[in-house]
Structure 1
Amino acid sequence: MLFAVSNPFIKKVKSSVLLGLLSMTCALPAAHAAIETLSLTPEQNWMPTTDLSLPRQMKIGTLENHIRYVLMPSRRSKDAVAIRLGMGKERRAQRLYSKQALLSEQPLADALREVLEQAGSNQTLITGDQEEVTLILVGDFTTRDAEDAINGVFADVKLVKKSQPSATLLAAAQPESVEQTPRILVATRTSTDALFDLDEDSKMSRKESLSRQLANQVLAKRIENALVTDAEQEKVAVSVEEEKAAGRLSTKALIEFAQQPDWMQAKDIIAKVIDYTKNGTISAQEFSDQVQQMHQHLKANLQQDISEQADEIALAVHRKQVYLQPSDELRLFEFHVAHMSEADLNQSAIQIWSSDIATMVQPATSN
């Protein structure tokens, strides 16, 4: 039942969503009740098109040399522009070149040339096989002026394909870190049979992703508390991330310790917490606590500056996701949690952590 909930915060969110839906229904004629989406032309078809809506002020396109661009005019930062040039392909690390400029002090074209010089030369960009090149601008400009500047700087740039070093060679070429804290990595893979289409970015897939994220945050908090209490660790940092690859969902929990633990004891505690969590034990209070934390985080994002927004757009493009501006992210979150409960989190925990689990110990190292 949608509104059968006792927690005051969750009840407030659900009531707010209901009032919002009712006001929209009353205010709009039936012919205009549907959410508007940005229509994409053929040269823009690299951006996913789903039931999620791009910001109306955003403009995307592609130059004849296949360099893609995203323009996000914003009046929040007078005369300023944040530029990102992203190079890479999905599921691999993205090379991101950055520049922030005041247009009252530097023409946009000059700022674009500086970014181009960071990435290569004024005429050539070296890219790996199947890598995409995307230019992102956020700031106080008109789309016409931005497109003119982009054409003037990037239209004649040649993309030269060149095989990139393997991940193994890149890792070997990196100097060893001076110090690494003791840590445990726990990983599992989930079959997509139990999940919504992972390759589609939609409202439904984001609801499932949100449920998994909240469930994993509960798990992380439980692991942290158990290790501090039972393993007598002064400080433990736990993070859980997921990655979509080869038709499967990989989930990794990284547990970092302030001091070297008893490895057998720590592994046993972590395994017991995971077993307990995947047995449908997430409570309504834990659900509410995580919702409140995420709600506060999303509200704080409403104050994003143009640099942070440019980074978020670059990340969304790299992941082949539809970019939602912070206010839309917050509204979508509130809508989803209004239709969720701890039962959804328990289902997600079961789906994620019931598969085979691999555990790897990484002792502290130093040079």
Structure 2
Amino acid sequence: MPKSTTVDRLDNGLRYVVLPTTRSSDEVSIRVRVNAGVAQENNHFPTARIVALDTIQGTNWHVSTDYQQTVFDIDFASATSSDIEKALEVLYAGLTQEVKQPNAEQLLESAQDSLTDIDELISQRHLDTLTQALAPLDEQSLSQTPLESVKEFKQTYFTPKQVSIVVVGGIKKKSAIKSIERQFSLWNTTTQEQSLHSTPQLELISKAEEASPITISSLSTFHDEEDSKLHRKELLMTTLANKMLEQRIQEALSEQHLQAQVDVDNQVLFDHRLLSQVRVANLEETDKVEVKKVVQSEIKRALASGFTQTEYEMVVSQVRKQLERQTRLNDPDNYTRNQADRVVAAIDSGSVYTAPSYDLDLLNFHVAHLNEFDISKEFEHNWSTASSVIM
């Protein structure tokens, strides 16, 4: 965590993170995270999405409804202390107002411009849904959702102890903290809060669509569940192994003249397990059987013989370039908003926020002491049926 960061709580339990990232610009990004998302919905009704859209109705805020969190966001190319306080004031009003009977037409119109829903978030991560079946966000589901269900969701989860505020950018730290205190310190609720989420049983949901992607997933555990250098080393080795598998699958498909987009990514889940997933998209329906055979064959080959030094060095170079592109030097226009998103992601995963420059230094440190045999061993841990669950 950078030394300039302030992390604290108000007396009502609301947590805030204030992170100055620049002195040469007035750009500011604000994120307000609620510790509940579509996983806490009643399976039949999109209550999280309804409450989220109702909260920002008629404002300039945007919202994302993820699996275990709802995140409100707003970005300023240039903002004064007054602008920051006004934005927080507007959102506070939405967070604390009594929810109204859903107007399906208005909410769907608002969703087009102001909502990034769970399906889009999963698509951006190149990962298929690993969750319980979700209620659709459409006119029928909105019109059938009881107002009492919406009210119950908001009263249960939209409370100070479930909220984190993140303010990042060219800010005056003391002024930003004062704005948070003025707008949110009087927020108190009498409703009994749920201290623990009811986490649904995980299962892979595949949409029955024409030309749907092929996915093969693996769930494994960390040797060290605490966020530490060892934990991040494991995550790095998994990333390198999966990217080497991705390249092998892509090359094998090309050799057989099969056209498709291959992504092999990983994500730390809410229960601290590690999801690795092969996802092959943009393929012809008639090629699916053959493509799946190629994927399974390459996984078996990697388990049997591991990876080569050439593959290792190539992927390390690619990951290094990816991290370099995320630094302020190479991405000044998006750096502030990206850091705000990284702080939220750290809160969601229960890890410590680190800047891209730190991750780059950590990469260089670890790869200096790793080789292709270490990565092959980590791949076996993640993809072998003896140590993981393959779906």
> What TM-score results when the alignment is normalised by the length of structure 2?
0.67
CA pair 245-135 structure 1, distance change in 2 beyond 3 A: closer
Letter in 1 for 2:73: S
- The Cα offsets for residues 78-115 of structure 1, whole Å up to 9 and x where unpaired, read as 22321000112599432110112333494321121233
Q: Decide whether aligned partners of structure 1 residues 77 and 308 sit closer, same or farther in structure 2, where only a CA change above 3 A counts.
A: farther
Matched, 1:63 2:90: no
Whether 2:125 is the aligned partner of 1:100: answer no
The residue aligned with 1:298 is 323
1:256-271 equivalence runs, <5 A? 256-271=281-296
1:224, distance to aligned residue in structure 2 (A): 2.0
**Take 1:247 and 1:321, find their aligned partners in 2: how far apart are those partners?**
10
**Residue-by-residue CA offset, 1:303-350 (whole Å, 9 max, x unaligned):** 242111101111111111111112111111111111111111100111
> What is the CA–CA distance in structure 2 between the aligned matches of 1:151 and 1:142, rounded to whole Å?
14
State the alpha-carbon separation in 1 of the partners of residues 327 and 95 from structure 2. Answer: 31
1:222-274 alpha-carbon deviations (Å, 9 max, x no partner): 112222322x3223232322334656434322221332243332222111100
Q: CA deviation at 1:66?
A: 0.8
CA distance in 1, matches of 2:389, 2:224: 23
Alpha-carbon distance change, 122 to 79 in structure 1, aligned in 2, over 3 angstroms: farther
Letter in 1 for 2:89: R
Are 2:367 and 1:345 equivalent residues in the alignment? no
* 2:235 match: 209
Give runs of aligned pairs for residues 87-236 of structure 1, distance below 5 A: 87-88=34-35, 92-101=67-76, 102-104=78-80, 106-121=82-97, 126-128=155-157, 132-159=162-189, 160=191, 181-190=211-220, 192=221, 195-198=222-225, 200-230=226-256, 232-236=257-261
Q: Residues 158-196 of structure 1, C-alpha deviation per residue, up to 9 Å, x if partnerless?
A: 35567799979xxx9xxxx99764211112233x4xx42
Percent identity, please.
24
Aligned mates of 2:96, 2:278 — CA distance in 1: 37
Give runs of aligned pairs for residues 214-363 of structure 1, distance below 5 A.
214-230=240-256, 232-244=257-269, 246=271, 248-303=273-328, 304=331, 305-355=335-385, 358=390
Cα 1:77–1:156 change in 2 (3 A) is farther
CA 1:331/1:247 → structure 2, altered by over 3 Å: closer, same or farther?
Answer: closer
Larger RCO (CA within 8 A; separation ≥ 6): 1
Structure 2: runs of 5 or more not aligned: 40-66, 100-150
Number of residue-to-residue matches in the alignment: 295
Decide whether aligned partners of structure 1 residues 306 and 76 sit closer, same or farther in structure 2, where only a CA change above 3 A counts.
farther
Find the residue that maps to 2:362 and give its secondary structure: helix
Counterpart AA for 1:242: Q
Mark the CA change 1:229 to 1:132 in structure 2 (over 3 Å): closer, same or farther.
farther
Any idea what the Cα deviations from partners look like across 1:103-140, whole Å, max 9, x if unmatched? 34943211212333454539996453997311000022
- Give the drift of 1:212: 0.9
Change (3 A) 1:242 1:345: same
Q: Aligned partner of 1:60: which letter? A: V
- Output the CA distance in 2 between the equivalents of 1:226 and 1:211: 23
Q: CA RMSD in A?
A: 3.3
Q: Which has the higher strand share?
A: 1
Call closer, same or farther: CA 1:165–1:120 in 2, change over 3 Å: farther
Structure 2: which amino acid aligns with 1:113?
E
Give the letter for the 2:248 counterpart: R
- Given that 1:228 and 1:236 are in contact with CA atoms closer than 8 Å, whether structure 2 keeps it comes out as no
Tell me which structure has the larger Cα radius of gyration: 1
Q: Secondary structure at the match of 2:285?
A: coil
Amino acid at match of 1:82: S
C-alpha distance in 1 between matches for 2:213 and 2:94: 35
Q: For structure 1, list consecutive stretches of 5 or more residues without a partner in the other structure.
A: 1-53, 360-367
CA shift digits 1:342-367 (9 cap, x unpaired): 111100111111116645xxxxxxxx
Question: What is aligned with 1:78?
Answer: 25
Return the alpha-carbon distance in structure 1 between the equivalents of residues 247 and 376 of structure 2.
15
- Amino acid in structure 2 at the alignment position of 1:277: A
Q: Within 1, Cα distance between the matches of 2:97 and 2:356?
A: 35
Q: Secondary structure at the match of 2:11?
A: coil
**Structure 2 CA distance, aligned partners of 1:62 and 1:333?**
32
Q: Which runs of 4+ in 1 moved over 6 A?
A: 122-125, 162-168, 177-180
* Alignment deviations for residues 189-213 of structure 1 (CA, whole Å, 9 cap, x no partner): 33x4xx4222x00011111110011
CA distance in 1, matches of 2:254, 2:380: 25
Matched residue type, 1:147: I
